[in-house]
Amino acid sequence: MRNTRFMALALVLAACSISSAGAASNDYPSKPVRFISPFSPGGGTDTVARALALRLGDALGRTFIVDNRPGADGLIGTELGAKSPPDGYTLLVGNLGTLAINPNLRKVPYDPLRDFAPIIQTTASSTVLVVHPSLPVKNVRELVALAKTKPLNYGASSSGTFLPMELFKQMAKIDMTHVPYKGTGPTLTGILSGEVQVMFGGAINTTTLVKSGKLRALAVAGDRRAKALPDVPTVAESGFPGYEANTWNGMLAPVGTPRAIILRLNQEMLKILSQREVMDYMNADGAEPAGNTPDHFAAYIRSEHAKWARVIRDAKIPVSN
């Protein structure tokens, strides 16, 4: 209900803003538009991009193409998005890892706060702590106890999943070996095959697998339970108060993209995210449509960037150059 009300307000604000922006966007788009997805196909970021691309194409009468550019924890595709022409025909699907965590962990070839014009936050979803069903644990406390007696591997495709797990390890005073993957899809393949036993995965990726019994959910990392998994407690409820880590996605353009185009895209995406079909589709996969104005999304990115900078510093996680 809260998200629905916010999207309704954002739609009103976007409509007012775009009407004052002039007619610069009336002819946009006049050719296909590319969404750069900086991860491999099959992950939550890619899923959201494809759902939006299809419906934007219908709404605006042009083709919206998802261009997967995986590698280096999303840095390759994100850099490509930052350095693309600011004409509205190349957009970036950004997320927690590429915009708020990676830039605080290492030197990246882009500035997440200066090189992009935020368009809209598309989704917010809980991160879910899941294990392979063969692991003899049913809750977080049992996982912690097992990890203290035998070596376990965990999978993570990017800092967006690596950092929450490292923070959990620190709070639980356990150790597990990190096995890195080049995307969420390969990470899921790794845990389904038993190559790793544990992972934090976005609810948008793991919910269907949990409901089918292919993975077991122990907890969600957000400040409240996930709508898609209402019986799964939070990590905080499971004995680790103060633990919180959510994932999110959003659309951005290269800085310098005309404001009128930003506002038009925002308005169209707000309409799409408000559609009951889209809301049900995302909820079923464990995500919640977000929806906000470009300015609100920009402020949120700044706040998340600052938050994870503090977490990394306080956790004394080394920063690489």
Say yes or no: 120 and 136 in one domain.
no
In three-state form (DSSP H/G/I as H, E/B as E, the rest C), the secondary structure along the chain is CHHHHHHHHHHHHHHHHHHCCCCCCCCCCCCCEEEEECCCCCCHHHHHHHHHHHHHHHHHCCCEEEEECCCHHHHHHHHHHHCCCCCCCEEEEEEHHHHHHHHHHECCCCCCCCCEEEEEEEEEEEEEEEECCCCCCCCHHHHHHHHCCCCCEEEECCHHHHHHHHHHHHHHCCCCEEEECCCHHHHHHHHHCCCCCEEEEEHHHHHHHHHCCCCEEEEECCCCCCCCCCCCCECCCCCCCCCCCEEEEEEEEECCCCHHHHHHHHHHHHHHHCCHHHHHHHHHCCEEECCCCHHHHHHHHHHHHHHHHHHHHHHCCCCEC
Residue 106 within a domain: yes
At 4, is the pLDDT very low, low, confident or very high (cuts 50, 70, 90)? low
Residue 279 within a domain: yes
At 137, is the pLDDT very low, low, confident or very high (cuts 50, 70, 90)? very high
Distance between CA atoms of 84 and 1, rounded to whole angstroms?
37
Say yes or no: 21 and 9 in one domain.
yes
Domain enclosing residue 69, as ranges = 2-125+247-315
Instruction: Kindly state the percentage of the chain with pLDDT values over 70.
Output: 90
Say yes or no: 50 and 120 in one domain.
yes
Residue at which a domain ends, from 203, 220, 237: 220
Q: What is the CATH number of the domain that holds 131?
A: 3.40.190.10
Residue 18 within a domain: yes
- Residue tagged 């280096």 (tokens): 72
Which of these ranges, 15-29, 65-79, 102-116, has the smallest mean pLDDT?
A: 15-29
Say yes or no: 87 and 181 in one domain.
no
Say yes or no: 216 and 158 in one domain.
yes
Q: What is the pLDDT of residues 155-189, one digit of tens each?
A: 997 666 678 888 899 899 999 999 999 888 899 99
Q: What is the pLDDT of residues 260-308, one digit of tens each?
A: 999 999 999 999 999 998 888 777 766 788 889 999 999 999 999 998 8
Say yes or no: 118 and 253 in one domain.
yes
Say yes or no: 36 and 178 in one domain.
no
The pLDDT value given to residue 267: 96
Question: How many domains does the structure of the chain reveal?
Answer: 2
Could you tell me if 158 and 77 are in contact, meaning their C-beta atoms sit under 8 angstroms apart? no
Say yes or no: 130 and 89 in one domain.
no
Q: What is the CATH number of the domain that holds 91?
A: 3.40.190.150
pLDDT reading at 312 higher than 50: yes
pLDDT reading at 216 higher than 60: yes
The pLDDT value given to residue 296: 97
Say yes or no: 173 and 101 in one domain.
no
Say yes or no: 111 and 101 in one domain.
yes
Q: What is the pLDDT of residues 183-212, one digit of tens each?
A: 888 999 999 999 999 999 887 788 889 999
Residue at which a domain ends, from 184, 203, 220: 220
The pLDDT value given to residue 98: 93
The pLDDT value given to residue 6: 54
Residue 321 within a domain: no
